[in-house]
Amino acid sequence: MRAFLFLLILTAGVFVNDLFAQNADLEPTTIILVRHAEKAGNDPRDPDLSEAGLTRAKRLAELLSDVQIDELYSTPLKRTRQTLQFVAAQRGKETMDYDPRNLKGLADALQSKPGKTILVAGHSNTTPTLANLLLGKDKYQQLSESEYGKIWFITYDNNKPVVVLVLNY
């Protein structure tokens, strides 16, 4: 009888484990979007962050210090990469580049990462557009040139957005 119960429990455990492995997309995915922090005036084409921008980038790292970040993405410009530099350094992770001209491709790629938490830095026009693509509706407008502190948290469950939180930091 004990052998039968042990075999039954073992079989049930394998079945449940296999069920979750087959339905990995059921794990929640969280995508965090930010616009780059304040930029300096040192280069009109590809400026660094200003002192205020560096302060905001450090604040972002503090805000997210208890959040598991699996992947980081930014455009190849210095201001977006520098916005994520403190978060990346805290975690020993590299920031990967994405093409801001292909936001649909990025949205599709982000949504195909079940169970991950992903941080993405963009621009005043690309970040709200990416949020809209992730949500499947036009909800957010382009940010003003002076607006740097907005952060979106979009959590998916079973490939559907279930929680959207927009804050200022």
State pLDDT tens for residues 118-131. Answer: 999 999 999 999 99
Residue 117's pLDDT is 98
Q: Count, in order, helices (H) and strands (E) of the chain.
A: 5, 6
Residue 76: phi and psi, rounded to 5, are -75, 0
Q: Which of 57-61, 63-67, 89-93, 111-115 has the lowest mean pLDDT?
A: 111-115
Residue 13's pLDDT is 42
Q: Which of 22-31, 52-61, 136-145 has the lowest mean pLDDT?
A: 22-31
- Give buried/exposed letters for 72-83 (b at 16+ CB in 10 A, else e): bbbbebbbbbbb
Mean pLDDT in the chain?
A: 88
Residue 26's pLDDT is 63
Cα–Cα dist 17/128, whole Å: 38
Query: ∠164-166-168 over CA atoms, to 5°?
Result: 165
Among 132, 116, 123, 38, which Cα is nearest to 77's? 123
